[in-house]
Structure 1
Amino acid sequence: MVVDDGLVLAESASILRFLEQKYGNGRLVLVAGTPDRALHDEWLDYVESSLALPAMLTILGGGTGRLPTALASFTAPELTKALSYTAHRVRERHFLMGERLTLADIQMSYMLATLRRSGQLADYAAVLAYLERLEATPGLTKAVEIGGPMTPSVEG
């Protein structure tokens, strides 16, 4: 959640868009009305739509092997499809939209870090390499220094 001048936003994509529009000066988005911007926005929304459901069901269920059969029969192929799609996108790109970090990459970072922590990225070398590139960006490095790791330990 973010509060800015009395405005309260709770959805991460909305927060990212708002902060970029108010403070980012266009650094983290592509030119509006272009095919690349449409693809960027699709990736930004993809994280919490197509990727999040199978990812979070798998993570919260303790892995596909521990989910009820009916649920695993949905989540396993959907998560495979989503991670394969992401791997294909980042295999020959530094970030989702090329060499430039965008809001879509920022949105993707938490979900991928969570999936890595749960062991779900082991078969996706391109996605792991992409996540490592994201984690090496100055902004994410600084955010982790200030706020702590994206995926806190569940032990203890």
Structure 2
Amino acid sequence: MLTVHHLGISQSERIVWLCEELGIEYDYKRYNRREDNRLAPDEYKALHPMGIAPVIQDGDLVLGESGAICEYIDRKYGGGKLSLTPDHADFADHLFWLHFTNGTFMTNGMMQLMLSMADAKNPMPAGFVAERTSKAWQMVEARLGEAEFFGGSQLTLADIMMVYCLTTARMFREGTLDEYPNTAAYLQRIGAREAYQRAWEKAEPGTPPNLT
């Protein structure tokens, strides 16, 4: 049986949402962050050598890394429902946004977060990261002005990956969607999905999703 280990307020919410979208059976275990430093508890860190979320177990397999987990579950349990084949018109866009998520967008956000916590006297790194981050958000806004979903005309793994960056990840740093109306409208569409609502209630019960 597939087991999803979810760390509260973390990227592993993606995996809960994916399983709900696919309508598959899975065991679910939720872990609270530590009170003293807001990091994962030792019990969660022991699941995988990296000690970070997300992590799944499937029999003897223990797998980390959001993108790998999403592709694994979609192919093994979802029949590739949320992936596009090479003959699909949106195939390239689906691939781009699927990998842009953690390859660029999340990386920019993590660099910003680390710089904000560091006592850096050299302004160059902050300016470099700010420019990269601004460009990435502009790309997101432009994409959601031309397509209903990141992958094109239908929900794909690209959306499963990107939504966390646009919602929960913003809890860790300042920022609104005032300048990004297309993104805001997209998140309202996502928030209206029954599978997303079920997943969020499991992942963060009693906490409203950061959709605005």
Structure 1 contact 58–67 (Cα < 8 Å) conserved: no
Please, which of 135, 138, 142 is the counterpart of residue 84 of structure 1?
Answer: 138
Shift of 1:19: 0.4
- Tell me whether 130-139 or 17-26 shows the greater mean CA deviation: 130-139
Residue 182 of structure 2 corresponds to which residue in structure 1?
126
Structure 2: tracts of 5 or more residues without a match: 1-54
Tell which deviates more after alignment, 39-48 or 23-32. Answer: 23-32
Aligned-partner residue type, residue 60 of structure 2: G
Amino acid at match of 1:126: N
- Tell me if the contact between 1:2 and 1:8 (Cα under 8 Å) persists in the aligned partners: yes
Q: How many Å apart are 1:61 and its aligned residue?
A: 4.3
1:4 matched residue in structure 2: 58
Write the letter of the residue equivalent to 2:100: Y
**Which has the larger helix fraction?**
1
Larger mean CA deviation between 32-41 and 45-54 belongs to 32-41
% identical equivalent positions:
35
TM-score, length basis structure 1: 0.82
SS in structure 2 at match of 1:91 = helix
Q: How many residue pairs are counted as aligned between the two chains? A: 150
In the TM superposition, what whole-angstrom CA distance separates every residue of 1:47-92 from its partner, at most 9, and x where no partner exists? 00111121222245459xx996222211111011001111111113
**How far has the Cα of 1:97 moved from its partner?**
2.4
Equivalent residue, structure 1, for 2:160? 106
Residue aligned with 1:129, SS:
helix
> Aligned in 2, Cα 1:76/1:26: closer, same or farther, shift over 3 Å?
same
Aligned equivalents of 2:162, 2:133: Cα separation in 1: 14
- Tell me the equivalent position of 1:17: 71
Structure with greater strand percent = 2
Give the Cα–Cα distance (whole angstroms) in 2 for the partners of residues 59 and 133 of structure 1.
28
82-91 or 49-58: which moved more?
Answer: 49-58
> What is the alpha-carbon distance in structure 2 between the residues aligned to residue 9 and residue 78 of structure 1?
30
Give the TM-score normalised by structure 2: 0.62
CA RMSD between the two structures:
2.7
Instruction: Name the structure, 1 or 2, with higher relative contact order (CA <8 Å, separation 6+).
Output: 2
Alpha-carbon separation, structure 2, partners of 1:62 and 1:132:
29
Q: Which has the larger radius of gyration?
A: 2
Report deviation, 1:132. Answer: 2.3
